[in-house]
């Protein structure tokens, strides 16, 4: 990038913790968030495991510090919690002091409430407040109002790469001088809608998922929200902001193959990673760790794995998918994994790919299966690939 | 670097498919909401594929092809879309299945087609375009974000040309729901009489508009000088100040604007600002368009099509003139579009010859 972009704050909530500290603690204790369904009202309870945020809506409202009498979607609640943590982490006292934007990513939006009240909305005048919380912009605007962002708000919706694309737009707007600072990331709450959608595609594992394993059976859905505070070089200098990492590269490429599948050779994945490397000016061998998309589906892990082999083989960096911890948090995944990537850099650690046993016969690498400590982690590549062929890759570097 | 509109494909409730005509044959809709005039899809899409596509996907692919043909471009450097509610028909279909069949025996097709990035993905597949691809879904900033993204790609030389689109659809089922809010009129009116009904709410429309943006000036409709989004302005004064600042940043004043295109939508609760700007702030010609398109999240795409065509044709169609009594014939060099979505998401487009 011609102009440098720095990460000065992170915030996260997912099935493995309600904040950054809890998340890190779960990771080092190898504690997965994937469990039996507790909060989502679905007939798949007890049959399909997921990684839910371990709080009821009342508990989330309290943690978010919102009015108990308000009507909120679960996306809004977890989004408000993660975004506020990121802002606090970046030690922003007066958000209006600099031109600040909020770019969130979501696909499910307010569907959790829509599906609960849909028949009412069709036939009665009950619960009509939820008509206006259905769309993807609702949670973004409520988060913006909660943290006081006014200069720019937007929402990406590219399925599982949404949060990554939010960060890319944020970085580009800062580079162009349109904003000094962007809070960027994504949100997804679990809904019957997309759980059943993924179920009809027959890509949900009935057991904890096994990314990059020869015998993988699919993914586990998860929910979560995660945001990064991105700042311009000028702002960081002026403010003396503490830099957590530098956002050094990004790539976005479309698979243009099938609405729900990627090419077996991972063309889009390859191009997205290659573009991210080219933009960062880094050579493949300089990447220390790849936080892979690694969902645990047959298709993703094969195409992503082959693309990694092609771009990085034979001297692969350390590779793992953290989806077995958090589940696949879909639109939030790029944010969740960006936070985890930055934690790796900060702590000189590489997080394990849980549940892995047997290397895929088509691939030339196995993922990291144990927590690696005191290792060199200067550059991390984080992949997010979505439905519709939307592939994005991000690179975070030690500053 | 400047950004120009090289081609447009616009499918709307008016006859907008032929880029050579500009609102010559007006359709007055009276069905409660405005639906798009469908092109003959099989002229654009393989009939076998056509059967599997829902309405909005057909409209999206068709509009993108019209746009690229108009621009003389085969494969764009990027595809970016914006949508407020995405594929409403497919979403309703899958949601009703989940609820009615108790999460059993579901077919995946409607779900697969219901994600907001379906159109950008399908257009990419149709064109075999592997380049940058993105989709925004943020109320009245959905199309605006896509346009901003596309303009940045050209300015940063990440792409030579970019395909940017906005799409939304209205279905009877969704209309029955939104009619319960204060944003949609309860009474059924003739669309051309939109401003005669001094009641709450607007009329809902739909449409797909694709634009081919380029950095080269030759054979283009107009230059997009700049765009701006304004989130939750406090009052009229803030809106005026932001407009003034926006024009100033582009070395213009309000007196340089030859035409202001206003997003008046007939809602007595929220149209005040448009009347205020026309009567007290600007002193020029005005146009409005939501009696032609209806209102929807990505109506900015229709507004951009309208504004670009006023420059290309050097004409404001009679039907779209606002404050007609004061309308004066003059060259159309600078056009400002101002629209707001429910007084929350306000947007400005500045176009010039």
Q: Report the 3 state secondary structure along A96-112.
A: HHCCEEEEEECCCCCHH
Q: Which of A135, A196, A267 sits opposite B130 (nearest CB)?
A: A267
- For chain A, give the number of residues: 399
CB contact under 8 A, B108 and A197: yes
Residue B266 has a pLDDT of 98
The whole-model pTM stands at: 0.98
For residue B121, list chain A residues with Cβ-Cβ distance below 8 A.
254, 256, 259, 387-390
Question: Annotated catalytic residue: which of A134, A328, A344, A379?
Answer: A328
CB contact under 8 A, A137 and B122: no
| pLDDT tens readout for residues A263-301 | 889 999 999 999 999 999 999 999 999 999 999 999 999
Mean pLDDT to the nearest integer, A253-263: 89
CB contact under 8 A, B103 and A140: no
CA distances from B150 to A181, A255, B133, B154, B338 (A): 20, 19, 10, 7, 20
Residue B302 has a pLDDT of 98
Question: Annotated catalytic residue: which of A134, A194, A293, A379?
Answer: A293
CB contact under 8 A, B149 and A44: no
Give the residue on A whose Cα is nearest the Cα of B145: A154
CB contact under 8 A, B156 and A172: yes
CB contact under 8 A, A153 and B130: no
Pairing of strands A245-254, A390-397: antiparallel
Give the residue on A whose Cα is nearest the Cα of B95: A193
| Percent of chain B scoring above 90 in pLDDT | 98
Question: Annotated catalytic residue: which of A136, A160, A209, A344?
Answer: A160
| pLDDT tens readout for residues B285-322 | 999 999 999 999 999 999 999 999 999 999 999 999 99
A328 classed as catalytic: yes
Residue A1 has a pLDDT of 46
Checking if the pLDDT of B152 tops 60, the result is yes
Q: Which residue has the tokens 């995944």?
A: A333
Q: Which residue has the tokens 């005509």?
A: B21
Q: Which residue has the tokens 């929807």?
A: B296
A375, two tokens? 């290792």
Buried b (16+ CB within 10 A) or exposed e, A52-89: bbbbeeeebbebbebeeeeebbbbbbbbbbbbbbbbeb
Shortest alpha-carbon distance between residue A205 and chain B (Å): 17
Shortest alpha-carbon distance between residue B321 and chain A (Å): 32
Checking if the pLDDT of A354 tops 80, the result is yes
Mean pLDDT to the nearest integer, A1-18: 92
ipTM: 0.98
Give the residue on A whose Cα is nearest the Cα of B107: A200
In angstroms, how far is CA A40 from the centroid of its own chain? Answer: 20
Checking if the pLDDT of A122 tops 70, the result is yes
| Percent of chain B scoring above 70 in pLDDT | 100
A258 classed as catalytic: no
Backbone φ and ψ of B141, nearest 5°: -110, 10
Shortest alpha-carbon distance between residue A13 and chain B (Å): 23
Q: How far is the C-alpha of A122 from the C-alpha of B176, rounded, in Å?
A: 7
Check if the beta carbon of residue A230 is closer than 8 Å to that of residue A250. Answer: no
A293 classed as catalytic: yes
Q: Which of A42, A44, A176 sits opposite B155 (nearest CB)?
A: A176
CB contact under 8 A, A388 and B121: yes
Task: Return the axis-axis angle of helices A162-175 and B142-155, rounded to nearest 10°.
Answer: 50
**Residue B267 contacts by C-beta under 8 Å, 6 or more apart in sequence?**
B183, B200, B201, B202
CB contact under 8 A, A253 and B176: no
Residue A258 has a pLDDT of 86
Residue B5 has a pLDDT of 98
Q: Which of B108, B121, B176 sits opposite A389 (nearest CB)?
A: B121
Checking if the pLDDT of A2 tops 70, the result is no
**Residue B78 contacts by C-beta under 8 Å, 6 or more apart in sequence?**
B131, B132, B133, B134, B150, B153, B158, B159, B162, B163
Q: Which of A42, A255, A387 sits opposite B115 (nearest CB)?
A: A387
A292, two tokens? 């892979």
């Amino acid at each position: 990038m011609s102009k440098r972009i720095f990460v000065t704050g992170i915030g996260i909530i997912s099935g493995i913790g309600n904040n950054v500290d809890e998340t890190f603690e779960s990771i080092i204790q190898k504690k997965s968030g994937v469990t039996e369904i507790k909060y989502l009202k679905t007939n798949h309870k007890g049959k399909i495991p997921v990684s839910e945020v371990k709080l009821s809506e009342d508990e989330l409202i309290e943690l978010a510090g919102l009015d108990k009498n308000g009507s909120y979607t679960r996306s809004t609640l977890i989004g408000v919690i993660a975004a506020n943590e990121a802002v606090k982490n970046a030690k922003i006292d007066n958000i209006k002091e600099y031109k600040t934007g909020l770019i969130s990513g979501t696909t499910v939006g307010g569907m959790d409430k829509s599906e609960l009240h849909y028949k009412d909305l069709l036939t009665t005048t009950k619960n009509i407040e939820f008509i206006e919380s259905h769309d993807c912009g609702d949670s973004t605007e409520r988060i913006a109002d909660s943290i006081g962002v006014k200069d720019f708000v937007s929402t990406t919706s590219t399925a599982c790469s949404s949060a990554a694309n939010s960060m890319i737009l944020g970085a580009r707007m800062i580079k162009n001088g349109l904003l000094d600072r962007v809070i960027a990331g994504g949100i997804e709450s679990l809904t019957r809608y997309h759980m059943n959608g993924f179920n009809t595609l027959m890509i949900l594992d009935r057991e904890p998922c096994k990314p990059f394993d020869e015998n993988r059976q699919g993914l586990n859905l998860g929910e979560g929200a995660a945001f990064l505070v991105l700042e311009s070089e000028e702002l960081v200098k002026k403010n003396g902001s503490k830099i957590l990492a530098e956002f050094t590269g990004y790539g976005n490429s479309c698979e243009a193959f099938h609405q729900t599948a990627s090419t077996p050779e991972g063309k889009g994945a390859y191009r997205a990673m290659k573009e991210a490397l080219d933009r960062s000016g880094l050579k493949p061998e300089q990447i220390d760790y790849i936080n892979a998309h690694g969902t645990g589906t047959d298709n993703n892990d094969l195409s992503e794995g082959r693309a990694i082999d092609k771009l990085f083989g034979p001297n692969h960096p350390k590779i793992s998918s953290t989806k077995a911890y958090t589940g696949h948090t879909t639109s939030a995944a790029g944010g969740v994994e960006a936070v985890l990537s930055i934690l790796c850099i900060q702590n000189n650690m590489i997080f394990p790919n849980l549940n892995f046993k047997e290397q895929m016969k088509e691939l030339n690498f196995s993922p990291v299966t144990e927590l690696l400590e005191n290792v060199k982690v200067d550059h991390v590549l984080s992949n997010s690939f979505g439905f519709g062929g939307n592939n994005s890759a991000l690179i975070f570097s030690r500053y | 670097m400047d950004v120009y509109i090289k081609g447009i494909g616009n499918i709307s409730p008016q006859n907008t498919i032929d880029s050579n005509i500009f609102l010559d044959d007006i359709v007055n809709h009276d069905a409660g909401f405005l639906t798009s005039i469908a092109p003959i899809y099989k002229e654009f899409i393989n009939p076998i594929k056509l059967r599997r596509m829902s309405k909005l996907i057909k409209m999206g692919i068709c509009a993108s092809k019209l746009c690229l043909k108009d621009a003389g471009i085969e494969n764009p450097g990027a595809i970016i879309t914006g949508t407020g509610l995405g594929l409403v028909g497919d979403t309703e279909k899958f949601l009703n299945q989940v609820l009615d069949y108790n999460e059993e025996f579901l077919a995946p097709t409607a779900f697969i087609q219901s994600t907001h990035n379906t159109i950008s993905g399908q257009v990419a597949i149709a064109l075999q375009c592997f380049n940058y691809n993105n989709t925004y879904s943020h109320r009245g900033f959905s199309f605006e974000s896509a346009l901003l993204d596309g303009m940045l790609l050209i300015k940063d030389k990440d792409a030579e040309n970019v395909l940017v689109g906005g799409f939304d659809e209205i279905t009877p089922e969704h209309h029955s729901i939104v009619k319960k809010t204060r944003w949609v009129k309860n009474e059924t009116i003739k669309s051309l009489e939109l401003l005669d009904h001094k009641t709450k709410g607007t009329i809902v429309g739909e449409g797909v508009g694709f634009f081919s943006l380029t950095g080269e000036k030759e054979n283009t409709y107009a230059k997009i000088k700049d765009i701006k989004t304004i989130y939750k302005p406090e009052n009229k004064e803030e809106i005026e100040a932001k407009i003034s600042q926006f024009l100033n940043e582009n070395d213009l004043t309000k007196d340089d604007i030859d035409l202001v295109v206003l997003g008046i939508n007939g809602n007595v609760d929220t149209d005040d600002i448009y009347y205020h700007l026309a009567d007290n702030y600007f002193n020029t010609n005005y146009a409005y368009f939501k009696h032609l398109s209806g209102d929807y999240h990505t109506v900015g795409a229709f507004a951009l099509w309208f504004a670009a065509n006023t420059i290309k044709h050097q004409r404001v169609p009679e039907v779209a003139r606002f404050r007609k009594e004061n309308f004066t014939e003059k060259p159309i060099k600078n056009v400002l579009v101002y629209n707001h979505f429910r007084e929350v998401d306000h947007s400005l487009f500045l176009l010039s010859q």
